[in-house]
Amino acid sequence: MASIDRRTREKVELQEKILNAARDLFLQHGFDAVTMKKIADAIDYTPGALYVHFKDKRDLMLALCRNDFAELDKQTHEMLRDEPDPINRIWKLGHGYLAFAAAHPNHYKLMFMTKHPEELTPDEEDLARMGNPDQDGYAMLIATVQEGIDKGCFRPELSDAELVSQTLWAALHGVAALQITHSNDPWCKMKPYEQRSVTMAASILRGLVRDPSVVDKLLSMTGEIPPGGSPG
């Protein structure tokens, strides 16, 4: 039994090593320019060792996307336990998303800042998760926003849950992307990441919700700094 556990652990560790090397190479050179041999060379393995775990480069890239999105979904789901209010859940989702981007910049760049190859179409396993809020982070955001719309939390003209979700996503993506690409840019003198994150999240929510004071209450409750002021 111990031998089986050890072999399983070694297999998982090798797969993670392969995925990490592939992620770095895809970001540096692009999907088309990277070969299985290049990935194998990066970790001092033979290409044959990679084919034991992944049948080809497309299979490896799909596994990489699944793993990274699963990690993001896990991090955000854990923040939503026992939270009945949809606006508070949206706030926590944003926190999880931005924290993930800061902690895993290479993951984030490949997931959201790199155009994926056209041949990387979802298979049956991916399609089975699509639209399920328990397994699909985007579906979870839409479901949460729809709940907010149904409860009258958003401005009355905002009745399209996907449009509201994509607006929120675009706003937070901008903060995350600038952190990754320009956090040390001497020309910009960027403010602290947390301050920029809270300012953007609070500003965009104030513009979307029916009663902007709920955002001030949320900031007071969490002890975070609202734009231009101090908590509560």
16-46: pLDDT as tens digits: 999 999 999 999 999 999 999 999 999 999 8
User: What's the pLDDT score for residue 23?
Assistant: 94
For 116, list phi and psi in degrees, rounded to 5.
-80, 150
How far, in Å, CA of 140 to CA of 202, rounded?
A: 20
- Can you list the residues of the chain whose pLDDT is less than 50? 1, 229-232
User: What's the pLDDT score for residue 231?
Assistant: 40
User: What's the pLDDT score for residue 8?
Assistant: 80
User: What's the pLDDT score for residue 196?
Assistant: 93
Tens digits of residue pLDDT in 133-168: 888 889 999 999 999 999 999 999 999 999 999 999
How far, in Å, CA of 12 to CA of 188, rounded?
A: 41
How far, in Å, CA of 41 to CA of 36, rounded?
A: 9
CA geometry: angle 65, 68, 74, nearest 5 deg = 130
Burial classification of residue 10, based on how many CB atoms lie within 10 Å of its CB (0-12 exposed, 13-18 middle, 19 or more buried): exposed
3-state secondary structure of 183: coil
